[in-house]
Chains A and B, each alone.
Chain A
Amino acid sequence: MTIEAVDTQPKPNLLNDPKFRAIVAQIVVVVLFVSLLAYIGNNAAENMEKIGIKAGFDFLGLQAGFMPTSPNFNITGFDVNTDTHMDVFWLGLVNTLLIAVIGIISATIVGFIFGVLRLSSNPLVNFVAAAYIEGTRNIPLLLQILVWYFGVLLALPVVKNSLNMGDLVFLNNRYLVAPAPVFEDGFGFVVAGFVIGIIATFFMARWARIRQEKTGEQFPVFFTALGLIFGLPILVLLATGVPLTWDIPALKGFNFVGGVQITSQLTALFLALTFYTGAFIAENVRSGIQAVSHGQTEASSALGLRPNRTMSLIVIPQAMRVIVPPVTSQYLNLAKNSSLAIAIGYPDIVNVFMGISLNQTGKAIEIIGMTMGVYLTISLIISMFMNWYNKRVALVER
């Protein structure tokens, strides 16, 4: 009797092979995606031909023919008679970066202050911080911008009756005007002194750290740094005979002449972004500090450290690890939210380029693509910087 060898292994179905299925799925998705793109592109080409728009970036060289910003607030020196859509793009970009940078700085300060106040043992302080945080976090940013602009700043007196602060700063419903510094010859030395101060501080801090690691002796780094960074330029300023005068604004006719003007649009956007993002950062700071376990504080007091040293050496370095990643995303949000400027007419890139230039030229694809590219780049730069910083403060594991 012979036993036939039976191949008990059934032939595997190709459809059940995960590798084969992965390849098929990818091919299907990519083909669908490419055909969708082709379909869209085809439609776009047809539609654009019908309306008579040609694709391309030639429009950037055409004269814009509109004034995207008020003449008093014109950082790039936009000239309505000659400048092109490319200059509109630059103007918008510079204004976007301006509001993003000052917004990030002030939101961080507000956020840290209120984050710490939220942890106060004083119930009144705690309540005020909580009311601020919950109040701003739960109301749309756009509404807050409009409230600051239409509700607060436009309700200020007109130019003629400007609020006068010591004959130097004037505030009215169109702008805030303050003395502008005028730099004369020799101010370069002061700037040089400032730069030297920063560099010297860097090396001094390194030297002090190395010395403390070797000998245990401490060096008053903070006050020396203060002296170097601010004292040195002031000394140079006095030594060169104060090459700096102030251009003080004065009311001439219907407007202020001289000084530096900050438009209410910028102020409203700045205040709204600062307080809105500040509230989110405050929550991040609070949760970061609370994430440091109480044992750490206790251990530090057991070692004999005073409360403020405990805070600066033990709690804050550990809290930073928790705080940095969410705060990064808040910075990104602030940069993106600055695009809401369009609601009150602050001349940022969305307002002047994606708004007015798009309306005038009809080049929807190019303009929206360029604007999105700008935000992509800004986001990338902020994330790269904050990733680098996060690596510095992150826990070094084995």
Chain B
Amino acid sequence: MSKSFVRTEFHPDLPPPVSEAGIIGWLRHNLFSTWYNSLATLIIMYLAWLSIPPAIDWLLISSVWEANDYKECRAGGSGACWGMIDKRFNLFMYGFFKADQFWRPNLALIVFMVAMLPVLFDKLPGRKICVPFLIFGFPALAVALIRGPVEMSSFQTPVGIAVWVAMFAAAVFFGHRGATRANAIMSGAGYSAAYIIVFIVFISWGLGLEKIETDSYGGLLLTLILAGVGIAVALPLGILLALGRRANSMPLIQILCIGFIEIIRSVPLISVLFMAQFMLPLFLPEGVKFDNVMRALVGFSLFAAAYMAEVVRGGLQAIPKGQFEAADSLGLNFYLNMRLIVLPQALKIVIPGIVSTFIGLFKDTSLVSIIGLADLLLVAKQSYTDSNWLGLEHTAYVFIAIIYFIICFSMSRYSMYLERKLHTGHKR
């Protein structure tokens, strides 16, 4: 009989080999796993060594932080001239907006951001107040704050005021009558008319502030106004267009909607802006004057609406047919069907799409600089052609590129966060 040795206790675990664990293991597995990976790592490290130190030097070390003109910048260092940004900061932010009125757009932005917080992050309270405020209250408030009163001659005569009061009374009456009879169309039309009248009255009062002409808007303010008005018009109009495109029982409306969407989507924005710039004045009756900013807003909003319509259509198509049929069998009419069943689901699906369309629109606002509006890009261009700041295009471009990047990048990150939140339980 042979003796056999059987272990009675576990051998203690050996430490992992040095080449497989810790920093060395990580390097071996990730940076130097194959010969081409090693080569790529070395090339990238070399390029980084070539480019990063000069970039930091240009941005921070040999840059000039205080200067009164380009000569002082050149003398102070070979880097960026942040002194120019400092001196022209208000131009970059507000354009030629009156300096003593800066608080108005600032206040509008702060109100907007505070009201948006509960909408963006659903853990915060107050959604029930903030959403209706953003949809119904904020547009009027923003117009009043940024534009000031919009004069209406009809408010200056007693007859005109009487007509407005009568119209408001009629609208409220119909809205109330529709509501008591459960007639959605009547109540909807009545109350929206009443809302529109209140809106008009409010912006013609304009909080009693000083009126500011639109051609003094500029810089980041103009960029934000264009993007904001664009999205505010594009969303409702886009929803209508998308519904029209899918209205199979009404082929004529379908054709009109498809034609509008496809034509606008297949031409460049710059041609739409040119159209707004050169053709819109021809189309309007005599005496009606649209200034440049308004024309650009019209063109930009129509352009945005066509893109938004396609995003919304994607959401509508994703709703199973059973949902429409179930709503029909419950006896809901078209309006209630859309409001209670279809649109809440469809819009929820396409929120990431809406955000990414909005990022695209935000970047596209820079095109208005071509038709001569002083948005962020044109202000940058004017800065380095200004006789005091000649030849500082790198500084100006880097500064506005950082602004655009921060805004767009944070929106795209938010959109990813939303996607993760909405896609619950479908991922492997």
Chain A residues within CB distance 8 Å of chain B: 18-19, 22, 25-26, 29-30, 33, 40, 43-44, 46-48, 50, 120-125, 128, 134-135, 137-143, 146-147, 150-151, 332, 336-337, 339-340, 342-343, 350, 354, 358, 364-365, 368, 371-372, 375-376, 379-380
Contact of A26 among B253, B285, B286, B359 (CB under 8 A): B253
Q: How far is the CA of A350 from the CA of B265 in the complex (A)?
A: 17
Interface check B367, CB cutoff 8 A: yes
Q: How far is the CB of A336 from chain B (nearest CB, A)?
A: 4
| Of A122, A135, A365, A376, most B-chain CB atoms within 10 Å | A122
Q: Residue of A at shortest CB range from B363?
A: A140
| Of A19, A146, A340, A376, most B-chain CB atoms within 10 Å | A146
- Are A44 and B283 interface neighbours, CB within 8 A? yes
Q: How far is the CB of B328 from chain A (nearest CB, A)?
A: 10
Q: How far is the CA of A339 from the CA of B40 in the complex (A)?
A: 37
Q: Which residues of B contact A139 (CB under 8 A)?
A: 363, 401, 404-405, 408
Given A29-B253, A350-B270: A47 and B363 interface contact (C-beta under 8 Å): no
Interface hits, B269-291 → A, CB 8 Å: 269-271, 274-275, 278-279, 281-286
Q: Which residues of B contact A371 (CB under 8 A)?
A: 271
- Are A365 and B282 interface neighbours, CB within 8 A? yes
Interface check B6, CB cutoff 8 A: no
Contact of A47 among B30, B275, B286 (CB under 8 A): B286
- Are A342 and B370 interface neighbours, CB within 8 A? yes
| Of B267, B269, B284, B405, most A-chain CB atoms within 10 Å | B267
Q: Residue of A at shortest CB range from B400?
A: A143
Q: Residue of B at shortest CB range from A329?
A: B265
Interface check B412, CB cutoff 8 A: yes
Q: How far is the CB of B396 from chain A (nearest CB, A)?
A: 10
Q: How far is the CA of A139 from the CA of B253 in the complex (A)?
A: 38
23 interchain pairs, CB-CB under 8 A: A26-B252, A40-B283, A43-B282, A44-B282, A46-B285, A47-B281, A47-B286, A120-B40, A122-B37, A122-B41, A138-B409, A140-B404, A143-B366, A150-B393, A151-B397, A339-B268, A342-B270, A342-B370, A350-B268, A354-B271, A364-B278, A368-B271, A372-B267
Q: Residue of B at shortest CB range from A142?
A: B366
- Are B279 and A375 interface neighbours, CB within 8 A? no
Interface check B31, CB cutoff 8 A: yes
Interface check B249, CB cutoff 8 A: yes
5 more A-B contacts (CB under 8 A) besides A124-B40, A147-B401, A150-B397? A138-B412, A336-B267, A364-B279, A372-B267, A379-B267
Given A44-B282, A128-B44: A146 and B271 interface contact (C-beta under 8 Å): no
Interface check B323, CB cutoff 8 A: no
- Are A46 and B267 interface neighbours, CB within 8 A? no
Chain B residues within CB distance 8 Å of chain A: 30-31, 33, 37, 40-41, 44-45, 247, 249-253, 256, 263, 265-271, 274-275, 278-279, 281-286, 359, 363-367, 369-370, 377, 381, 393-394, 397, 400-401, 404-405, 408-409, 412
Q: Residue of B at shortest CB range from A40?
A: B283
Q: How far is the CB of A227 from chain B (nearest CB, A)?
A: 27
- Are A134 and B409 interface neighbours, CB within 8 A? yes
- Are B279 and A33 interface neighbours, CB within 8 A? no
Q: Which residues of B contact A135 (CB under 8 A)?
A: 405
Given A18-B249, A142-B366, A337-B268: A358 and B278 interface contact (C-beta under 8 Å): yes
- Are A142 and B284 interface neighbours, CB within 8 A? no
Q: Which residues of B contact A375 (CB under 8 A)?
A: 266-268, 271
Q: Which residues of A contact B274 (CB under 8 A)?
A: 350, 354, 358, 368
- Are A143 and B364 interface neighbours, CB within 8 A? no
Q: How far is the CB of A132 from chain B (nearest CB, A)?
A: 12
- Are B270 and A339 interface neighbours, CB within 8 A? yes
- Are A123 and B30 interface neighbours, CB within 8 A? yes
Q: How far is the CA of A110 from the CA of B366 in the complex (A)?
A: 25
Q: How far is the CA of A125 from the CA of B359 in the complex (A)?
A: 27
Given A134-B409, A364-B278: A29 and B256 interface contact (C-beta under 8 Å): yes
Q: How far is the CA of A138 from the CA of B370 in the complex (A)?
A: 20
Q: How far is the CA of A102 from the CA of B262 in the complex (A)?
A: 25
The 3 A-B pairs of least Cβ separation, nearest first, read A379-B266, A138-B408, A336-B268
Q: How far is the CA of A140 from the CA of B400 in the complex (A)?
A: 10
Q: Which residues of A contact B284 (CB under 8 A)?
A: 43
- Are B377 and A146 interface neighbours, CB within 8 A? yes
Secondary structure class of chain A's binding surface, majority of residues: helix
Q: Which residues of A contact B401 (CB under 8 A)?
A: 139, 143, 147
- Are B283 and A368 interface neighbours, CB within 8 A? no
Q: Which residues of A contact B369 (CB under 8 A)?
A: 142, 343
| Of A138, A142, A376, most B-chain CB atoms within 10 Å | A138
- Are A143 and B250 interface neighbours, CB within 8 A? no
Q: How far is the CB of A34 from chain B (nearest CB, A)?
A: 11
Q: How far is the CB of B287 from chain A (nearest CB, A)?
A: 11
Q: Which residues of A contact B283 (CB under 8 A)?
A: 40, 43-44
Q: Which residues of A contact B270 (CB under 8 A)?
A: 339-340, 342, 350
Q: How far is the CA of A336 from the CA of B365 in the complex (A)?
A: 15
Q: Residue of A at shortest CB range from B285?
A: A43
- Are B364 and A140 interface neighbours, CB within 8 A? yes
Q: Residue of B at shortest CB range from A46?
A: B286
- Are B285 and A372 interface neighbours, CB within 8 A? no
Q: Which residues of B contact A354 (CB under 8 A)?
A: 271, 274
Q: How far is the CB of B82 from chain A (nearest CB, A)?
A: 17
Q: Which residues of B contact A358 (CB under 8 A)?
A: 274, 278
Q: How far is the CB of B364 from chain A (nearest CB, A)?
A: 7
Q: Which residues of A contact B278 (CB under 8 A)?
A: 358, 364, 368
- Are A124 and B397 interface neighbours, CB within 8 A? no
- Are B394 and A151 interface neighbours, CB within 8 A? yes
Q: How far is the CA of A302 from the CA of B285 in the complex (A)?
A: 74
Q: How far is the CA of A226 from the CA of B33 in the complex (A)?
A: 32
- Are A122 and B397 interface neighbours, CB within 8 A? no
- Are A122 and B40 interface neighbours, CB within 8 A? yes
Given A44-B283, A143-B401: A33 and B271 interface contact (C-beta under 8 Å): no
Q: Which residues of B contact A122 (CB under 8 A)?
A: 30-31, 33, 37, 40-41
Q: How far is the CB of B147 from chain A (nearest CB, A)?
A: 26
Q: Residue of B at shortest CB range from A152?
A: B394
Contact of B370 among A26, A30, A343, A365 (CB under 8 A): A343
Q: How far is the CA of A365 from the CA of B408 in the complex (A)?
A: 35
Q: How far is the CA of A26 from the CA of B252 in the complex (A)?
A: 6
Given A47-B286, A48-B282, A376-B263: A151 and B41 interface contact (C-beta under 8 Å): no
- Are B393 and A121 interface neighbours, CB within 8 A? no
Q: How far is the CA of A364 from the CA of B364 in the complex (A)?
A: 23
- Are A25 and B282 interface neighbours, CB within 8 A? no
Contact of A365 among B247, B279, B365, B377 (CB under 8 A): B279
Contact of A141 among B41, B363, B393 (CB under 8 A): B363
Q: How far is the CB of B325 from chain A (nearest CB, A)?
A: 14
Q: Which residues of B contact A25 (CB under 8 A)?
A: 250, 253
Q: How far is the CB of B293 from chain A (nearest CB, A)?
A: 18
Q: How far is the CB of A136 from chain B (nearest CB, A)?
A: 10
Q: How far is the CA of A249 from the CA of B129 in the complex (A)?
A: 71
Q: How far is the CB of A96 from chain B (nearest CB, A)?
A: 10
- Are B271 and A151 interface neighbours, CB within 8 A? no
Q: Which residues of B contact A365 (CB under 8 A)?
A: 279, 282
- Are A124 and B41 interface neighbours, CB within 8 A? yes
Q: Which residues of B contact A141 (CB under 8 A)?
A: 363
Q: Which residues of A contact B366 (CB under 8 A)?
A: 140, 142-143
